[in-house]
Amino acid sequence: EVQLVESGGGLVQPGGSLRLSCAASGITFNAYWMSWVRQAPGKGLEWVANLKQDGSEKHYVDSVKGRFTISRDNTKNSLYLQMNSLRAEDTAVYYCVREKKGFYWYFDLWGRGTLVTVSS
C-alpha cells in the first residue's frame, strides 16, 4: 500500500526538542523530494521544510531556520524532522508530504499527520 506514516509527536516544554519520523511504503522513496507541512489548531497550512532526493538541497521557512533540521535515510525509506528550541507557536499537526517534480511540481501524497504540542 502506498502510504506515508508520521510518528514522534507529543507534548514538549518550550525550549525542548522533538524528532519526527515519516516512514514511506509502496513508493520509490529515493526518487522524490519530500516536505514537512504543518497546521496549527484551527489555522491554515504552512510549508515547513523540504529536501531533495539525495539530501544535497534543502529549504526551510524563515520561522524555523536555525532550529529545525530536515534529513532522510533512503536505505530506510524514512524522512525526519529534528525540532530544537521549540516554541508555543510550533504547536501543530505535522504532515509528511511527497513532492512530484517534473514539468509540473506539486504535493501529491500526504501522511495523516502527527500532533506536536509545545506547552509548559
Partner 1 sequence: EIVLTQSPGTLSLSPGERATLACRASQSVSSSYLAWFQQKPGQAPRLLIYGASNRATGIPDRFSGSASGTDFTLTISRLEPEDFAVYYCQHCGSSWTFGQGTKVVIK
Where along the sequence are the contacts to partner 1 (CB under 8 A)?
35, 37, 44-47, 50, 59, 61, 95, 99-101, 103-108, 110-113
Q: How far apart are CA 5 and CA 20, in angstroms?
A: 11
Question: In terms of CB distance, is 103 or 120 closer to partner 1?
Answer: 103
DSSP 86: -
Beta carbon of residue 11, minimum distance to partner 1 (angstroms, whole number): 20
The Cα 68–Cα 77 span in angstroms is 20
Give the whole-angstrom CA distance, residue 18 versus residue 54: 24
**Residue with Cβ nearer partner 1 (80 or 114):** 114
C-beta of 75: minimal distance to partner 1 in Å?
A: 26
Pick between residue 9 and residue 13 the one whose CB is nearest to partner 1. 9
Query: Among 28, 31, 2, which Cα is nearest to 111's?
Result: 2
